[in-house]
Amino acid sequence: MEKFEKITGIAAPMPLVNIDTDMIIPKQFLKTIKRSGLGANLFDEMRFDRQGNEIADFVLNQPQYRKAEILVAGDNFGCGSSREHAPWAIKDFGIRCVIAPSFADIFYNNCFKNGILPIALPQEQVDVLMKDAEKGANARIEIDLEHQQITTSDGEVFGFEVDAFKKHCLMEGLDDIGLTMEKAASIDTFEAAANAARPWV
């Protein structure tokens, strides 16, 4: 998993509340178990019409936001079903951080396991970041995970809270498999001792 330390990027404003996981990645795209390729269908029903043409006024179809790395959204982001394809699609599109007043718990935890930093902030701070994002490609927001700070394009700084263990995993690029592999030597030692003690198993 890619390490997350600090990013400075374009933020896309999406001031909708209750964006659920079916809106993020509709059910017809859940047949794959691959984490790659889903970015093409992120927010599919909002990005494309029934003929597959882009809907011009959708934020991620606008030229200034096509390479957004940050998403500023409304309350209760990621609600609905617990599909892990939702953070897969967000990450595959290129978004590394989602900022909102609140998140659904399962989606929130799945983000950390997939290299995405979800940041919950008070509504008034989200409003400031939303207005900053609306400035377009010239307004770049900095996310500093080590110091737990967000800096707007105007230099305003907001602090944010994050669980220490989840922060460690993101900064070191550790998903569940990576965490297990950190203990590989201990696991090998245990297995060798177990095999010696019970060779018949």
The Cα–Cα gap between 199 and 29 comes to 47
pLDDT for residue 192: 61
pLDDT for residue 32: 77
pLDDT for residue 110: 95
pLDDT for residue 118: 98
pLDDT for residue 67: 94
Q: Provide the whole-model pTM.
A: 0.87
**Domains defined for the chain, CATH in brackets:** 6-172 (3.20.19.10)
Q: Kindly report the backbone phi and psi dihedral angles of residue 151, in degrees, each rounded to the nearest multiple of 5, phi listed first.
A: -120, 125
If the chain, 201 residues long, is cut into consecutive pieces of 10 residues, what is the mean pLDDT of each piece?
92 97 93 84 95 95 96 97 93 97 97 96 98 92 98 97 96 73 61 70 67
Q: Judge whether 153 and 129 are in contact, CB under 8 Å.
A: no
Which residues touch 20 (CB under 8 Å, ≥6 apart)? 78, 79, 80, 81
pLDDT for residue 145: 98
pLDDT for residue 131: 97
H helices of 99-183, in order, are 105-113, 123-133, 164-172, 176-182
